[in-house]
Structure 1
Amino acid sequence: MSEGIQWLAGLENWMSSVVFARGASARELALRLGAAPDGATEPITDAQAWALDMEEYRPDGDGDGVVRVGEHGGWSFALEYGDSTGGDRLAEVSCGGVEAIRYVPIQEHPPATVHYARDGVELCAFGLAEENQRFGTEPDLLLSDLIAGQVLGADGTTLLAPRGLGGEDFRDTYRRTLGVVERRFGLSLPPRCLQEGRLPAYAVRGTPDMRIDGGGTR
């Protein structure tokens, strides 16, 4: 797998999402997502994060959310677990001239989504394989990139690689769009950060039990 972000298209049953931020440290990103300043755990693995005692859903309120954070290639990143806060706080994450991108790796349908915010405003968002339906205060911000990347036709509304019924596999479609985002913003997230990397974790929502044991199981 490459160390861009196109490899994210192949993930299944992963964390809630990944949030990238340029202009804020990994710790600051965690704080903007709702973490307590002194809330970092020792660096832990993906398996240990999943082994934390989290309630994803509660009938009377929010579930528990946790992030692991790090930095790579000029961007900070937060790997989200459980009922995390990236979807609610992306504009807040981007305050003060920061750029923020959130990728939600839902498989096939409903589609994975990309959201981009800068300086306190969510500028554009779209579903992968639904790039002809764009949202935000500047929905066409990436239009020329999507056309140049052979995701959309020159009219900005025609999808060039429809899924299913003889179209290409959705993962290939996703990789094409993730490649556009990767190139536009210079994004990179090494697979090792998920697979074996140890990163500090923070609680960002609810009351997860953040006690860590040595083996990643409780």
Structure 2
Amino acid sequence: MLLDRGAQGMQLSVRHTAELESQEAAGFERGECADPAAYYGRLPYLWLLYRGSGSPPLTLPAVETAPDWHWLEESLTALLGAWWEQLPAQIGQDTAGFNIVPRSGQESALETVSVLCSEAEGVMLLVDDREVPGGTPDAVMEARGWRGRIMGWWQRDFYDLGAEGAGAAARMAVQELRLRGVPSPDGLGVGEVRCEDGGLLVLPGLAIGT
């Protein structure tokens, strides 16, 4: 059974599982789409959380790795926007998050950018600054928009921006990745995809390789 929002409002339908999964998988194919905002806007879903009864599909569709920084920014904006809107109803006071890390063998000053979202704090970014000898000067990090250092990590929350926080966080994350010498989105991986209270959290709409 599928409950979704159609042209006439909410609608409930009964679908064959294999047919529905095939249709949704086709939605992740990029084709000739040149506009990332339009592409991410039409995806059937951006994230999934499996808890309790039931099993996830044996294979899960996923978008391709972002070909450039603009694509990655739009991917992050779409995902974080969905989280900001949907997480409170799905996980209550829990926190969902993932880490953006450099791929093995990539030379940069990046260790980890952690992306988090919760009802209480909204969207939050943290960046591990311990890879830089002596740490990046406070004035430099504050000029980039970071607001506090904790144990070698700089953080920034976007709660005060409401729905606009998703786009602001995506821009800041991409800017930080580039400033730390990551050559392209191909140089990135994702790790520690998690939901605080457990369950299998998957991010098919995140254009970062595993």
In the superposition, the TM-score normalised over structure 1's length comes to: 0.32
Structure with greater proportional helix content: 2
In the superposition, the TM-score normalised over structure 2's length comes to: 0.33
